[in-house]
Amino acid sequence: MLRIFLLASALLVAGPVFATEAGWALLRSGGHVVFLRHADTPSAVDPAGLDLSDCATQQNLTERGGVQARRIGALFAARAAPVGRILTSAYCRCQDTARLAFERVPIEHEEALDFLPRDDAGNAAKAEQVRQLVLGYSQRDNLVLVVNEDVIRTILGVGAREAEAVIVEADGEALRVAGRIRFN
């Protein structure tokens, strides 16, 4: 009985490690699209009166989030995962995560990543734009999209922790999760 418990415990701990190592292997080869959820924030819900042009009306990175973002960039560099381009939503937590993690890579705002609360029709149209962007990606370097969880959940049908990368591949006209990297 003790052996079964120890084996099960080891598998629970090792599962994310194996997933992370497989994710790094994919990224080292390049040519992938990465959905990176922003680093740590105090809450998952923005205050009422959200204004994408005003960081004071949004959930922003905590001190821990800043450390996570820098660690993400350091790990991308240490693991030799080539990043050619960063696209981010207008949310300050996403822009700050991108800026702190990828100081030397061009960072661009992509409006299709700006999912808004209670805008199901608009978000669905944006999700299709992002899906087409991902399906059309064919560069040698990796493309990183720094986003909120609702973007990942809507487009890929999976959740992601703060500071988690979800690596995707085209499967015909659909997208599938090829790997994950947990930074926290």
Per domain, the residue ranges of the chain are 2-182
- d(Cα 50, Cα 116) in Å, to the nearest integer? 9
pLDDT single digits (tens) 125-156: 999 999 999 999 999 999 999 999 999 999 99
DSSP string, 87-113: EE-S-HHHHHHHHHH-TTS-EEE-GGG
Distance from C-alpha of 72 to C-alpha of 66, rounded to nearest angstrom = 10
**Residue-wise pLDDT tens digits, 13-70:** 333 444 588 899 999 999 999 999 999 999 878 888 899 999 999 999 999 999 999 9
117 phi and psi angles, rounded to 5 deg: -60, 140
Contact 45, 59 (CB under 8 A): yes
Prediction pTM value: 0.89
Confidence (pLDDT) at 48: 84
Dump pLDDT digits (tens) for 77-89: 998 889 999 999 9
Q: What is the pLDDT of residue 7?
A: 36
Work out the mean pLDDT of the chain and round it to a whole number: 89
What's the CATH superfamily of 2-182? Phosphoglycerate mutase-like (3.40.50.1240)
Q: Render the burial of 44-59: b for 16+ CB within 10 Å, e for the rest.
A: eebeeeeebeeeeebb
